[in-house]
Amino acid sequence: MVDSRFIKSISQRFDIETARHPNKLRRLRWRITCSCGLLTLLIILGNLAFSGDAIFQSRPVTFSHASLANNCKQCHDASFQLPRRLLGSTAALFIHSCEQCHEQSLADHHGAPSDSSSITDCASCHSEHRGQTSLTNVSDSQCVTCHSDINANTDHHQSTFANSVKSIDSHPEIALLKQWANSQR
């Protein structure tokens, strides 16, 4: 049997008024959270005040597109797609309006694809906003990614290309163009 002299009643063992007492740790966490939020807001507003809208601007466009540099909507259908894309939104794709100025169709680059999902945007290979470089300077790895197995990406009956391309130097049409360019020098 337990000695009743040593047992306190429940109300004596627990402080039921604890919610009314200030919690120093909770107050400290609240102050740190508010000050971090305020500091972040001040940094963003400071950047906007001193650099204008330069924080939102991309790198310079190529020389051939310099006349469009101040009119983003000439090439881009929607704004702020990059943040949406980084956050995982599949609907936030870059859609460029290259065909408004350039008459070359997608079939000139892609042949006759078996499904429309394999057609990519022009800017996926011809990357803009890289400064004064040429848009036709495309690395071998970008081309070989899609063109490594041509017959897998097109209808077999409509394909007039080589079956596979391992590098641009081994591409039949490109090799002829390079030979012609070297002979013109």
Q: Average pLDDT for residues 133-158, to the nearest whole number?
A: 66
Pick the more confident residue, 136 or 41: 41
Pick the more confident residue, 93 or 130: 130
Give the best-scoring range by mean pLDDT among 12-16, 38-42, 121-125, 180-184. 38-42
92 within a domain of the structure (yes/no): yes
13 within a domain of the structure (yes/no): no
Q: Are residues 67 and 98 in the same domain?
A: yes
Q: What are the structure tokens assigned to 115, written together?
A: 């499904």
Q: Are residues 122 and 73 in the same domain?
A: yes
8 within a domain of the structure (yes/no): no
Give this prediction's pTM: 0.46
Q: Measuring CA to CA, which residue among 130, 180, 125 is closest to residue 147?
A: 125
Residues contacting 10, CB < 8 A, separation 6+:
none
12 within a domain of the structure (yes/no): no
Q: What are the structure tokens assigned to 16, written together?
A: 């039921």
Look at the block and give the residue holding tokens 């337990």: 2
Q: Are residues 145 and 183 in the same domain?
A: yes
5 within a domain of the structure (yes/no): no
1 within a domain of the structure (yes/no): no
CA distance 160 to 151: 9
